[in-house]
Chain A
Amino acid sequence: MDFTPVISAAFSILGLSPLLVLSSIGILIANKSGVFNIGVQGNIAIGTTFGILGVSFFGSIWAGLALGFLAGLAVAIVSAYLTINKPYDQLQIGFGIWFVTEGLAGFIYFMSMNSAFRVEETFPSFNGLDIIFFSTIAITIVYYFVIHRTKYGLAVVAAGENPGAADVAGISVFRVRWICTLVGGSLLGLAGSWFSIIVLRHFFYNMVAGYGWLAILTVIFAGFAALPTFLSALFFSFLIGMQTRIQVYGFLPLPREIILVLPYIFGVILLIISGVLRKKKSAPAALGHPYERE
């Protein structure tokens, strides 16, 4: 029996994974330090816009990725200022950031580009797995070792679990949270620009769909741990990749609209099941609580 189509399908589904892996690791870093950013969707959207703009202005996909990275960083600076330095409700600020950035993403693109632009260049790839896919694995490993094996990681966890005690121990909670938010935000921007440049190859309205929300859900479902987050991000990417295949081969008798939301259906069911089964709380204790010095 010839397994080539199965293997190539598996590779091409894995090839989609950097979007969710990068963004969920980005979210996880910020969450570990106690910053709950719900405006992820907009962060990724800005990344997609600037990715395509970078390619069209500088003519290189590396420039596009770099610009997307920087755009994500810029959004992260704004949201870090509003959620860390100011004692605002992080949920509400996240929504504000989401509205502004998702609106700006389309606005900036259509104001600066008059014609439809298509990215022709691509990365050399190994069966559909490009350099970004391998670097997501590296990023996950680096994340794991920094957070769980070094004293910097301990500082991050302390800032997320008990910022008061961390402050007493001489850790600058504000600095830790700022660094984590910036790193996370830039990864989100990178994920967005990778998605627009390599996968979809042009910009269209609302191109991020609901993948940002799916990334947040991935992190919560995985219980804020590195390896489960990586694996469940792969699983949800698999579901996203399966959508087109189910439509083409028709081996599930479901209407097209339902197949399009299959990842969300699985997401809700898995979130509920994992919530029912989980005995102890997995979220960082100070997640979503702005730290105010007495």
Chain B
Amino acid sequence: MASFSPLFWVRKKLENIHFNRDTLRSLLPALISVVAVFITLCIAFVYISISTGTGFFDLWGSFYYAAFGSASAIGRMLTKATHILIVTIGLIIAFKSGLFNLGGVGQMAVGAILGAGAGLFLPLPIPLRVIIGFGSAFLVSGAIAGALGWFKARFNIDEIFTTLMVGFVLVAILNYFIDGPWGQTGSAEAKTPVVPGSFPYMLPGLTPLIFLALALIPIAYYLLNRTPLGFEMRLVGSGKSVAQNQGINASKIAIISMIISGGICGLAGAGQVYGDMTRIVVGMPGYFGFYAIPAAVMVNYKPHYALFSSIFLSILIMGSLGLTSVGIISDFGEVLIGIVFIVTIAVNRLGRKK
């Protein structure tokens, strides 16, 4: 105890990291998908520059400019990455217990409704409204996902389709609130009034919401790898019969993991209100619930790497949005994400034995 030096501790930690074949192999999918995206972009840009006459390097320029060109572009890019990251962590918890939660979009919608509702209408001091908004978002969307998890556990009803379809319905309810009771009167486009208590900007386009997302990473890591509940989740995820032989109640674990997963997605929805949009607008959850699936698969369901995959996907989305300035439809981001996804699956499988 007498001579504890931080430097010694750091060196000890560094010595424990082995850059062996396994480390390289886990980095390989990421590297190869970056290369695949680069090749795809080159092919697409050659095609675009032939058909529209825009220069090849101008296209690269506008792609780069939209993602990194200015402080506010970087801020927006990181904000998008924040949303993807929160949903990704939510999905990872469900994936780890062998469940597919595709309702990220709908659970975000619930979170957004409750977050905005608490901020707009509760007769309480504003910090309390924010806390209640986030808390109720977690609880209600967790309860919805948990109910679908119960149907899966009890009756074996495919959670993929129930979460997805319920998600569509929840987004429709969000749109209803904006069009109907909560809509701002006297504005051309449908949106609610500004929700009080929205987070201030730290940098242009970036709010403290990112700290919530960063805090979720160690929490999810700790939950999955250092607690009995996380161990049981991973055991259920690796095979139901194994878990049952160990005396684990697989149904209970499935429901709990769906509640946590849905709840975190709900936090993402409330976060979108307070940390980005300052109100709810039509179709706000967008595709974040779906982008989170490749973000989770890319890092092999490891929460501590999810930050990188979210930022990577966010760069692709923002860069493709930048191409609209030269007249390209922004759908191109989806193509890139899909290619990243397929390449990652292929490479992940490549290194694994049968």
Contact = CB atoms under 8 A, between A and B. Distances in A.
A110 B345 contact: no
Where chain B touches its partner, the secondary structure class is: helix
Interface in B136-180: 151, 155-158, 160-162, 164-166, 168-169, 172-173, 175-176, 179-180
Contacts of B65: none
Contact of A87 (B157, B339, B349): B349
A111 B47 contact: yes
A217 B157 CA distance: 11
Nearest to B175: A257
B294 interface: yes
Nearest to A278: B155
Nearest to B157: A275
B162 A257 contact: no
A216 B161 contact: yes
A86 B349 contact: yes
B68 to A, nearest CB: 22
Where chain A touches its partner, the secondary structure class is: helix
Nearest to A79: B342
A99 interface: yes
Contact of A257 (B48, B165, B179, B335): B179
A220 B173 contact: no
Contacts of A255: 176, 179-180
Given A111-B48, A220-B158, A268-B162, A100 B342 contact: yes
B342 A93 contact: yes
B345 A92 contact: yes
A258 B172 contact: yes
Nearest to A105: B331
B169 A261 contact: yes
Interface string A109-147: 011100000000000000000000000000000000000
Contacts of B165: 210, 213, 217, 264-265, 267-268, 271
Interface in A187-205: 205
Interface in A213-230: 213, 216-217, 220
B180 A91 contact: no
B337 interface: yes
Contact of A220 (B100, B155, B161, B294): B161
A265 B160 CA distance: 15
B172 A260 contact: yes
B13 interface: no
A275 B150 CA distance: 13
Contact of A210 (B158, B168, B332, B337): B168
A106 B334 CA distance: 10
A271 B157 contact: yes
Contacts of A260: 172
A97 B175 contact: no
A258 B346 contact: no
Contact of A258 (B48, B173, B329, B342): B173
A102 B287 CA distance: 13
A92 B162 contact: no
Contacts of A261: 168-169, 172
Interface string B323-340: 000001101111111110
13 contacts: A86-B346, A86-B349, A97-B342, A103-B334, A103-B335, A107-B331, A205-B329, A217-B161, A256-B176, A257-B179, A264-B168, A265-B165, A265-B169
Given A100-B342, A112-B51, A276-B155, 13 more contacts: A89-B345, A92-B293, A100-B339, A104-B331, A106-B331, A111-B52, A257-B172, A258-B176, A265-B165, A268-B165, A268-B166, A271-B158, A271-B161
Interface of B: 47-48, 51-52, 100, 151, 155-158, 160-162, 164-166, 168-169, 172-173, 175-176, 179-180, 290, 293-294, 297, 328-329, 331-339, 341-342, 345-346, 349, 354
Which 8 A-B pairs rank lowest in CB-CB distance, beginning with the nearest? A99-B338, A103-B334, A100-B338, A103-B335, A275-B157, A96-B342, A106-B331, A96-B341
